[in-house]
Each structure stands twice: as structure tokens, then as C-alpha cells.
A and B are shown apart, each in its own frame.
Chain A
């Protein structure tokens, strides 16, 4: 158990649905991340939040909408997704995601396996 919990573990949705992924960390960290993991590809960083403020958005389509109400919770709201968005979505946290952070270790959740039909 890494201290980062993601729900749901699996999600199947149609292209017109709206759903949300949830992440909660119990490590007292200040930074939280969303990554996309597709088969045989490097992990792709999507969003970074540091002290609840979004500090990184890697040109992610607007059909993905993150929300970070506090340093312990992170959501990813999904709407009108495409089949190519099917992937494992990983949440992670680190002690401090700011520019001054060094040797930052990421703690990942187990992910949400998303299938878009």
C-alpha cells in the first residue's frame, strides 16, 4: 500500500458519458499528479498541482478537466472522450512539486483502467 488510493479501479464509458476519477493521498504531500499510461509507451504527465494550484498542463485536451480541492484529493473529470483515450490513468503524489524540489520521489496509486467505447 503506497498511501495513494484511486477509485474506481475499472471504468467503462461511452463517448457521450460524463464520469470522474478520484484520487486521495494519506502521505501529507503537497503535490499531486495525473499521468496517462498507454501500452508500451512512456508515462505521460497530464497535470500537476502544487499546494492546490495547477502548475502544469501538458497540452491536455479540454475533455479532461482536473480538480484539486485540497492537497489530499485530486479528481479528473471526463466528458465526450474518444476511444483513443482508453488507458490506465495513474495518480501520484510527492512531498513538494515546486521548482525548488530536488530528488522528488513519486508515490503512485494503482490506477483506473479506463475503456471508452
Chain B
């Protein structure tokens, strides 16, 4: 089955700096890669996703890049703000099916004022 590795497990950045979280996956059949953000006391919420036919996708201060050859994808957050502090999870699935999603172990991002 699929295995998703996520690094780092914790990340602290100064407000205004950029943050990068990286994930690798094992199943070359995976073609859908979402990122979820989980704030304290809440469930995870989808913030951005990418399909394998696209190398990069941006949404305001958030971007995701995908390297299918190397089987890794990354989340980039620019101009970080305190409200970006949360746990971020990457995931991968084949055929884009939610029930086949395999999650990474999460990254605790702390944005220091």
C-alpha cells in the first residue's frame, strides 16, 4: 500500500518568513495530493490540492509543488502570519478517491510574532 512520509514534524518561523513542508510517497499510481490544515480544537480542513498532471498550483500565499519522478510534493507558505500556526497534513491517493487517502504524520507550524 501507499506510504507517505512528512517532514519536518515541527517547524517554527518568524512572522513574514516563508515555510516549506515536504512529503514523499511510495505508490507511483498516486495522482491526487491534498493538504489539510488543522487548527487547535478543530478538524482538518482542505487548504489546497494538486493532481499529477500539474507541477505547481498557487492560491494567494499558499503553493504546492509536485515532482512525480522523485515522488515528492511540498507545501509553501509565504509571508507567514500568526493565524497560519496549525498542524498541516499532506496526503496522497490513487484515483483521487477519499477512502484511499493516505495521510502523513503532520507538521506543527508555529509562526512567531
Q: Which residues of chain A (1-44) have a CB below 8 Å from chain B?
A: 2, 4, 6, 31, 33, 40-43
Main secondary structure of the interface of A (DSSP, over half): loop
> At the interface, yes or no: B78 with Cβ under 8 Å from chain A?
no
Beta-carbon contact of B41 and A104 below 8 Å: no
Q: Which residues of chain A (73-117) have a CB below 8 Å from chain B?
A: 90, 92, 94, 97, 99, 101-111
Residues of the A chain whose Cβ atoms lie less than 8 Å from the Cβ of B97:
97, 99, 101-102, 104
What number of A residues sit within 8 Å (CB to CB) of B? 29
> At the interface, yes or no: A45 with Cβ under 8 Å from chain B?
yes
Which of B13-21, B44-52, B65-73 forms part of the interface with chain A? B44-52
Beta-carbon contact of A92 and B105 below 8 Å: no
Find the A residue at minimum CB distance from B4: A42
Residues of the B chain whose Cβ atoms lie less than 8 Å from the Cβ of A92:
43, 98
Q: Which residues of chain A (43-61) have a CB below 8 Å from chain B?
A: 43, 45, 48, 55-56
> At the interface, yes or no: B96 with Cβ under 8 Å from chain A?
yes
Q: Contacting A42 at CB < 8 Å: which of B45, B96, B104?
A: B104
Residues of the A chain whose Cβ atoms lie less than 8 Å from the Cβ of B104:
42
What are 8 A-to-B residue pairs whose CB atoms are below 8 Å?
A2-B43, A31-B98, A42-B4, A101-B95, A101-B97, A104-B98, A106-B98, A108-B45
CB distance from B26 to the nearest CB of A (A): 13
What number of B residues sit within 8 Å (CB to CB) of A? 25
Residues of the A chain whose Cβ atoms lie less than 8 Å from the Cβ of B103:
42-43
Q: Which residues of A contact B (CB under 8 A)?
A: 2, 4, 6, 31, 33, 40-43, 45, 48, 55-56, 90, 92, 94, 97, 99, 101-111
Beta-carbon contact of B44 and A108 below 8 Å: yes
CB distance from B98 to the nearest CB of A (A): 4
CB distance from A89 to the nearest CB of B (A): 10
Residues of the B chain whose Cβ atoms lie less than 8 Å from the Cβ of A108:
36, 43-45
Residues of the A chain whose Cβ atoms lie less than 8 Å from the Cβ of B32:
102-103
CB distance from A37 to the nearest CB of B (A): 9
